[in-house]
Amino acid sequence: MLLRQTNSDFDVFIIGAGPAGTAAAISLREIIPDIRVCIADGGKTAAFRIGESVPPPIQPFLDQLGVMSAFAQAEHSPSFRTLNAWGSARLESNEFLLHVHQTGWRLNRAHFDAMLKTEAMRRGAIFVPARVTALTGNAHDWRIECSNAEKFSTRYIVDASGGAAIAARKLKFTPRKLDRLIACAVFFAGRARQSSTIDANAPLIEACQHGWWYTAAIPDNKRVVMLMTDTDIARRLGIARMPTWLRHLSLTDHIQACTGMASPLTQPLVFPASSRYFADIYPFGIVPAGDAVSRFDPLSSQGIVKALRSALYASYAIADHHLKGDTMGFFKYFTLMRDEFEHYATTWQTYYRQEQRWPDAPFWQRRHGMKPS
Ligand SMILES: Cc1cc2nc3c(=O)[nH]c(=O)nc-3n(C[C@H](O)[C@H](O)[C@H](O)COP(=O)(O)OP(=O)(O)OC[C@H]3O[C@@H](n4cnc5c(N)ncnc54)[C@H](O)[C@@H]3O)c2cc1C
């Protein structure tokens, strides 16, 4: 079977140049050097990108992609622990020393994403600076339309469009959602007040009545501080307004101590963060990866590692079909994504059940299974 003979513009068209999209492009070009890969992304580079804490298990994925030396050249800050006040007001430390790979990272997220994109293009992926607006067709003959009016044909599509999950939306799939979590984040300039007892740069989580707070020092002498809560609770409290946000910050023990004298650079910025998964069956040739297939709670700090992992597995499935006509890779991939989310959902609930200090608060009741989300 001459699977590789085709008249399409590209073999693989990747929607989105976040970690999942660029990692898929790098891996595909490493496995099959002559495979024709295109990545389209029309997103503007946001001044403040969210998602910066990565745990030590990121290292094998960076090694596998062959980008470890490019990663080491950027100014990411090493991280040796996370701190959390969860289940009690006492701050506990989770030391990375006990991990096989002992160092996690607080990323300069814009640099990290740009590095992966550069590496993908260096390996021969073509970049189209436009948003995908339409996709039509069927197995082996997909048509893509972009916001700059360009049209492309392709054999495979990787949907790596993150929360937009454009393929799932165009196909009218309904996600399985665990919650309605959002982040209200404020970026600060300046370092934390240093303390002799805690590592004030480490990612820190503190549970509160309406959800939980997170802060971490990030490169360029900045700090991100965010309250994670549910959409309706945020609206009811008016948490997206700076004075209200600051008043709630002042009720925390550890987060406000860490934030110290840093001064706000932004108003509260709202990001969707609900845990969700698209369980429907995709048409042949469309493979979602990263947040487009499933989104995990930022509590897990797994989003970027999961994006790289799913992108690698998606690229293996496509390569198996492209080279050998083997469809088993797709079956294994979707089974893995489903099992991964099921496992995650159990862990997610177990973890939220460890916090029992606010039994009457809707945020916690929902996660303890006492009230529907
Ligand atoms: C508040 C918050 C905090 C987080 N903190 C962490 C953390 O500390 N650690 C961690 O590991 N993860 C964290 N995450 C999750 C992490 O950011 C994501 O899991 C990760 O970015 C997923 O990568 P991705 O490539 O799948 O999607 P994204 O990084 O979202 O990239 C998707 C890309 O697709 C593009 N795109 C969208 N629509 C289209 C279209 N129509 N056409 C073309 N391109 C399109 C976008 O412009 C974007 O560049 C956090 C998430 C949130 C919301």
Q: Is 207 in the pocket of ligand 1 (CB under 6 A)?
A: no
- pLDDT at position 363: 98
pLDDT higher than threshold 80 for residue 281 = yes
The CA-to-CA distance between both ends of the chain, in Å, stands at: 50
With CA atoms as reference, report the closest residue to 274 among 309, 229, 304, 336. 229
Q: Is 246 in the pocket of ligand 1 (CB under 6 A)?
A: no
pLDDT higher than threshold 70 for residue 10 = yes
pLDDT higher than threshold 90 for residue 194 = no
Contact 299, 154 (CB under 8 A): no
Distance 355 CA to ligand 1 centre (A): 28
pLDDT higher than threshold 50 for residue 39 = yes
Burial class (CB in 10 A: 0-12, 13-18, 19+), 95: exposed
Distance 162 CA to ligand 1 centre (A): 5
Which numbered atom of ligand 1 lies nearest the CA of 291? 26
Q: Is 297 in the pocket of ligand 1 (CB under 6 A)?
A: no
pLDDT higher than threshold 70 for residue 214 = yes
d(CA 276, CA 174): 10
In the chain, which ranges are continuous DSSP H helix? 19-31, 58-65, 68-73, 109-122, 166-170, 231-237, 242-249, 254-259, 303-324, 328-353, 362-367
Contact 29, 37 (CB under 8 A): yes
d(CA 189, CA 286): 42
Query: Average of pLDDT values for 219-225?
Result: 88
Distance 117 CA to ligand 1 centre (A): 14
pTM of the model: 0.95
Distance 18 CA to ligand 1 centre (A): 6
CATH number, domain 10-77+106-177+277-350, options 3.30.420.10, 3.40.1280.10, 3.50.50.60, 3.90.180.10: 3.50.50.60
Higher pLDDT, 266 or 6: 266
- pLDDT at position 192: 60
Confidence class for position 370, pLDDT limits 50, 70, 90? low
- pLDDT at position 5: 52
- pLDDT at position 355: 97
Across all residues in the chain, what is the average pLDDT? 92
Contact 158, 15 (CB under 8 A): yes
Token readout for 51 is 């998602």
pLDDT higher than threshold 70 for residue 336 = yes
Query: Average of pLDDT values for 178-185?
Result: 97
Contact 142, 309 (CB under 8 A): no
Q: Is 84 in the pocket of ligand 1 (CB under 6 A)?
A: no
pLDDT higher than threshold 90 for residue 249 = yes
pLDDT higher than threshold 80 for residue 115 = yes
Q: Report pLDDT digits (tens) over 129-148.
A: 999 999 999 887 999 999 99
Distance 288 CA to ligand 1 centre (A): 13
Confidence class for position 11, pLDDT limits 50, 70, 90? very high
Confidence class for position 200, pLDDT limits 50, 70, 90? confident
Element (H, E) at 78: strand 77-79
Total number of residues shown for the chain? 373
Which numbered atom of ligand 1 lies nearest the CA of 131? 42
Element (H, E) at 38: strand 37-40
Confidence class for position 196, pLDDT limits 50, 70, 90? low
d(CA 11, CA 179): 37
Confidence class for position 371, pLDDT limits 50, 70, 90? low
pLDDT higher than threshold 90 for residue 279 = no
